[in-house]
A and B are shown apart, each in its own frame.
Chain A
Amino acid sequence: MSRATAPALGLKEAEHEVTRRPSVRSRALHSPTFMAGATLTTTIVALVLLAPLIGRYSPVSQDLLHTLAGPSAAHWLGTDELGRDIWSRLLYAGRTDLQVGVLAVLFPFCFGVFIGTVCGYFGGGIDTVVMRIVDIVLAFPFYVLIIALVFVVGVGTHGIYIAFGLTDWVIYARTTRSATLVARSLDWVAAAEGGGLSRKRVLWRHILPNTITQAIVYAMSDIVLVILAVVTLGYLGLGIQPPAPDWGSMISDGQNFIQTNQWLAAIPGMAVVLTGIGLSLLGDGLADILRPE
């Protein structure tokens, strides 16, 4: 049939596609979610990075004459049971936790996206095998697997990296694989392939830019998850080991004094919550900005 009668495929809402979409930067600046998240996260990151400057004490130096003191001019948030300055400990602990959290996600992100793209694009035996492995890893409750792995490979930061490296990549692999499958079926990708572009080039220039946005958005919420896990492991004594400060172990230590000095346990927890809020807002904002309209 002629042009005027070509079926309009599934256009439920009559949206006009004539307006050009504002640039990424403009969208970022106009998204309240993104700006709020970016502001909060940057503030927290700045605070912990400046720990040596604004934390006025070393996180491990004890002052047994002034234990469990309340907030004062000398100690802005008071001291803990060994006389250590809580404000400084909070900042240094944040430094460690954030650093470990972000680094622990790096390998799973890279490996997961890589293997997911390979599976989605090439399919076949490798796809089946990898997806079965993904199913098996996902059959274990997250914390159970992490704890068991940390038990086997050893506690501390290296144990954390290994444990997350072995388990956290699966969601990236799965989402990237789905996104790659979708991208592969798009007409213009077929056109690129048919046009003689090498597979590697198609993957890198055409498919990856589209699939990686989903992985990046997920990575934001994954960092929150990993920080929570690091803090939980710290609480259980299986994470970052003393004397290095960690929000989790601060909560665990503070729990002993819960009847008299509640803030010892409460403050580190609030720090975790704030960090989580900041990163989640950032992730949501990114999702809004990067969403293909």
Chain B
Amino acid sequence: MTPLLEVEDLVVEMRRHRAAFHAVDGVSFALERGGALAIVGESGCGKSITLRAIMGLLPNRGRLSSGRVVVDGVTLPAEARGRGRGHRQHRRMSIVFQDALSALNPVATVGNQIAEAPRYVLGFGRSAARARAIELLRLVGIPDPERRYHAYPHELSGGTRQRVMIAIALSSEPAILLCDEPTTALDVTIQTQILALLAELRSERGLSLVFVTHDLGVVSQVAERVAVMYTGRFVETGPTAEVLAAPRHPYTSGLLAAALDVDSPEHEPVVIPGSLPDPLQLTGGCSFHPRCGFATAECLTTDVRLQLVGPNHAAACLHSDVLAALQAAGHHG
């Protein structure tokens, strides 16, 4: 069965102050029908840009310099940005942004924004589009949808706005939902509700999901596969349970150690030393090596790529065996 979404060697070039760098440096993954992939990484690793590149919504400073996006076997044209978002395969994907307040048109009612795609893209009539919008409002769990239809985005609470964003994403009847940190700006209780909504949409409507987040705690609730991203590349990919239980890249293991503080009070807070490198100053070799406890001379010179370390599990590290051995012996990385 061909995967619904295939991304091959995506490279996105960004310009900043007259210098250019690769914000996304060769990212590949495949998404099955009804499947879900979580992309995890710190701010600035390129995960949001990846989603935007797939949707053809890169900002002016960015350019898809190479790579392919294939939806249901059809390769998407590279320069869809700005020109034709009307490509039929593009319409099978929708995106949900992090900040719903800035992602919603402030001068249009919420209902009209949800009805817009049915009316102008899917060809619904005016009242049919309106009915559809109300239906979608109800679907995403907004009570009193007929009344809420006429509200403006700034009149709603953060959680409601995010639901509206999801309703808009659903309005073009996509098969794939790309979510760019949709719960980051929300309270924990609301976060749980939104994640439950997404799970419901997956199970009842067979939506496929790509979920970008920096929050490891959310990953296991959302997706059965996870990819860990660092400086524009995937450094580890695999089944969520396996990656979280037995990470095979020092960065993943570092993230986990930092995230597990609350649950294990006897552990000292673990901080990954150093900070994200400036992409304009990357030298050769593994980009994580300045902060890595396992780094050797080899790491400075070899261009490390993802290698299989398990049936479905890959890591881009020369020393993933060392890491595995340490874990087996009962230590953290």
Interface size in chain B (residues, C-beta < 8 A):
35
Whether B215 and A5, one on each chain, are in contact in the complex, defined by CB atoms closer than 8 angstroms, is: yes
Whether A3 and B214, one on each chain, are in contact in the complex, defined by CB atoms closer than 8 angstroms, is: no
Whether A13 and B279, one on each chain, are in contact in the complex, defined by CB atoms closer than 8 angstroms, is: no
Contacts of A11 in B (CB 8 A): 43-44
Which of A5, A12, A15 is close to B259, meaning CB atoms less than 8 Å apart? A5
Given A3-B269, A14-B43, A19 and B278 contact (CB-CB distance below 8 Å): yes
Separation in Å of the B320 CB from the closest CB of chain A?
A: 21
Separation in Å of the A23 CB from the closest CB of chain B?
A: 15
B31-46 contact mask (Cβ, 8 Å, vs A): 1 or 0: 0000000000001111
- Of chain B, the residue at the smallest CB distance from A5 is B215
Contacts of A18 in B (CB 8 A): 275-278
**Looking at chain A, what size class is its interface with the partner chain?**
10 to 19
Whether B258 and A3, one on each chain, are in contact in the complex, defined by CB atoms closer than 8 angstroms, is: yes
Whether B43 and A5, one on each chain, are in contact in the complex, defined by CB atoms closer than 8 angstroms, is: no
A2 within 8 A of B: yes
Whether A16 and B184, one on each chain, are in contact in the complex, defined by CB atoms closer than 8 angstroms, is: no
Separation in Å of the B104 CB from the closest CB of chain A?
A: 15
Contacts of B214 in A (CB 8 A): 4-5, 8
Contacts of A7 in B (CB 8 A): 184-185
Given A12-B99, A13-B59, A4 and B276 contact (CB-CB distance below 8 Å): no
Given A7-B185, A14-B49, A16-B44, A1 and B262 contact (CB-CB distance below 8 Å): yes
Chain B at the A interface: SS class: loop
Whether A4 and B258, one on each chain, are in contact in the complex, defined by CB atoms closer than 8 angstroms, is: yes
B271 within 8 A of A: yes
Interface residues of B in 273-293 (CB under 8 A from A): 275-281
A233 CA to B184 CA in the complex, in Å? 59
A13 CA to B23 CA in the complex, in Å? 11
Which of A5, A13, A19 is close to B217, meaning CB atoms less than 8 Å apart? A5
Q: Which residue, A1, A2, A11, A15, has most C-beta atoms of chain B within 10 A? A: A2
- Of chain B, the residue at the smallest CB distance from A16 is B278
Whether B23 and A2, one on each chain, are in contact in the complex, defined by CB atoms closer than 8 angstroms, is: no
A16 CA to B232 CA in the complex, in Å? 13
Which of A4, A10, A13, A16 is close to B215, meaning CB atoms less than 8 Å apart? A4
A134 CA to B277 CA in the complex, in Å? 49
Chain A at the B interface: SS class: loop
- Of chain B, the residue at the smallest CB distance from A14 is B44
Whether B275 and A4, one on each chain, are in contact in the complex, defined by CB atoms closer than 8 angstroms, is: no
- Of chain A, the residue at the smallest CB distance from B62 is A13
Which of A1, A2, A4, A10 is close to B99, meaning CB atoms less than 8 Å apart? A10
Separation in Å of the A100 CB from the closest CB of chain B?
A: 40
- Of chain A, the residue at the smallest CB distance from B255 is A4
A19 CA to B59 CA in the complex, in Å? 22
- Of chain B, the residue at the smallest CB distance from A19 is B278
Which of A8, A14, A19 is close to B280, meaning CB atoms less than 8 Å apart? A19
B177 within 8 A of A: no
Which of B48, B99, B279 is close to A16, meaning CB atoms less than 8 Å apart? B279
Given A8-B43, A16-B276, A16-B279, A2 and B48 contact (CB-CB distance below 8 Å): no
Separation in Å of the B235 CB from the closest CB of chain A?
A: 16
Whether B255 and A14, one on each chain, are in contact in the complex, defined by CB atoms closer than 8 angstroms, is: no
Residues of chain B having any CB pair with chain A under 8 Å? 16, 23, 43-46, 48-49, 59, 98-99, 102, 181, 184-185, 188, 214-217, 255, 258-262, 269, 271, 275-281
Would you list 16 pairs from A and B whose C-beta atoms are within 8 A, ordered by A residue?
Answer: A1-B217, A1-B262, A2-B259, A2-B262, A3-B259, A3-B271, A7-B184, A8-B181, A10-B99, A10-B185, A11-B44, A14-B43, A16-B276, A18-B275, A19-B278, A19-B281
Shortest 9 CB-CB distances between A and B: which pairs? Answer: A14-B44, A4-B259, A18-B278, A2-B261, A4-B258, A5-B215, A8-B43, A2-B262, A16-B278
